[in-house]
Amino acid sequence: MTQTFTTDPELRPTPEFKTDEYVPLKKEVYVKKETGLDAMAGDGGYQEGTLAGAIRMKMRRDNKRFWAGDNISDYLHDSDKEHLIDEATTAFEKVLDALLIDRENDPNSKGTARRLAKMYFNEVMAGRYEQAPDATAFPNDSQDRYEGMLVVRSELRSMCSHHHQPVSGVAYIGIIAAEKLIGLSKYTRIAQWCARRGTLQEELCNDIAREIMKATASENVAVYVQAVHGCCENRGIMAHSSLTQTTVLRGTFKDDPHTKKEFFDNIKLQQEFAPR
């Protein structure tokens, strides 16, 4: 807990601070009573009168988690995004100002605040704001249905939620075909939708497995991700070739050593064919 000590001006007037020479910087922000939002008044800066503030309040009211790796598309209307980009632009302008970057005269920094806002919403964090990709499933229940293992290699671009540095790598998604099959490109679309957020690699691996299980109704899914992290390459330990590997095994991939081995053998074959 932080304690703030303020000098009592009556007892000990601060000589260099004369109140008639100063104006308060912050204005009070009010919210109309009985809008439902007033219940959260005074709750840590959530009363700023912005669309983002209102959406955050709704999510808090519903106990909806909105961490960097969470999808919050149910709380957004299609038309909200443009407005949120405008708000984020203003906020990024403040960040650039705080960093003492001349965004009026430096031609390369002029549009940076808006570029950043658009990049977050439409690209690097798009998977937070967009609904799950449509993965129409086809029946796999005929006499000669496919019962083998399927391994799909998906390129991934993500961002770590700690430092907002790029994470790039590949996911190998293994599945034993169940009664439903989804198009091959859907595996990659789902993996990318999970990756386009602020994530931890461990969490990302779990998210991909869960969403693939949902889309295919298969209990038997494995996901192996290998990626390099910008936060280790560009800062911190500055390790330029560090590779992080994570694996999630579900169902028979976890229980049957042969299935597990076949999955990793397939990955080796894939890597010989298309080394990263």
Q: Which residues bind Zn ion (CB under 5 A)?
A: 160, 162-163, 231
Q: Tell the smallest beta-carbon distance from residue 159 to Zn ion (Å).
A: 9
Q: Helix or strand or coil: residue 31?
A: coil
Q: Tell the smallest beta-carbon distance from residue 161 to Zn ion (Å).
A: 7
CB 266 within 8 A of CB 174: yes
CB 163 within 8 A of CB 231: yes
- Pick between residue 190 and residue 227 the one whose CB is nearest to Zn ion: 227
- Pick between residue 170 and residue 227 the one whose CB is nearest to Zn ion: 227
> Which residue, chain included where needed, has tokens 């390129």?
155
CB neighbours of residue 260 within 10 Å:
17
CB 156 within 8 A of CB 171: yes
Q: Tell the smallest beta-carbon distance from residue 250 to Zn ion (Å).
A: 27
- Pick between residue 218 and residue 226 the one whose CB is nearest to Zn ion: 226
> Which residue, chain included where needed, has tokens 């503030």?
53
- Pick between residue 72 and residue 231 the one whose CB is nearest to Zn ion: 231
Q: Tell the smallest beta-carbon distance from residue 70 to Zn ion (Å).
A: 18
- Pick between residue 186 and residue 229 the one whose CB is nearest to Zn ion: 229
- Pick between residue 89 and residue 165 the one whose CB is nearest to Zn ion: 165
Output the CA angle 258-262-265, nearest 5 degrees: 135
Residue nearest to Zn ion (CB): 231
Q: Tell the smallest beta-carbon distance from residue 254 to Zn ion (Å).
A: 29
Which region holds residue 212: left if phi is over 0, alpha if psi is between -120 and 50, else beta? alpha
- Pick between residue 145 and residue 162 the one whose CB is nearest to Zn ion: 162
Long-range contacts (CB closer than 8 Å, 24 or more residues apart) made by 238-241: none
* Token output for 127: 């998977």
- Pick between residue 110 and residue 162 the one whose CB is nearest to Zn ion: 162
In whole angstroms, give the CA distance from residue 172 to residue 245: 11
CB neighbours of residue 20 within 10 Å:
5
Q: Tell the smallest beta-carbon distance from residue 166 to Zn ion (Å).
A: 10
Tell me, what amino acid is at 45? Answer: G
CB 13 within 8 A of CB 23: no
In whole angstroms, give the CA distance from residue 273 to residue 276: 10
Q: Tell the smallest beta-carbon distance from residue 44 to Zn ion (Å).
A: 25
Q: Tell the smallest beta-carbon distance from residue 207 to Zn ion (Å).
A: 17
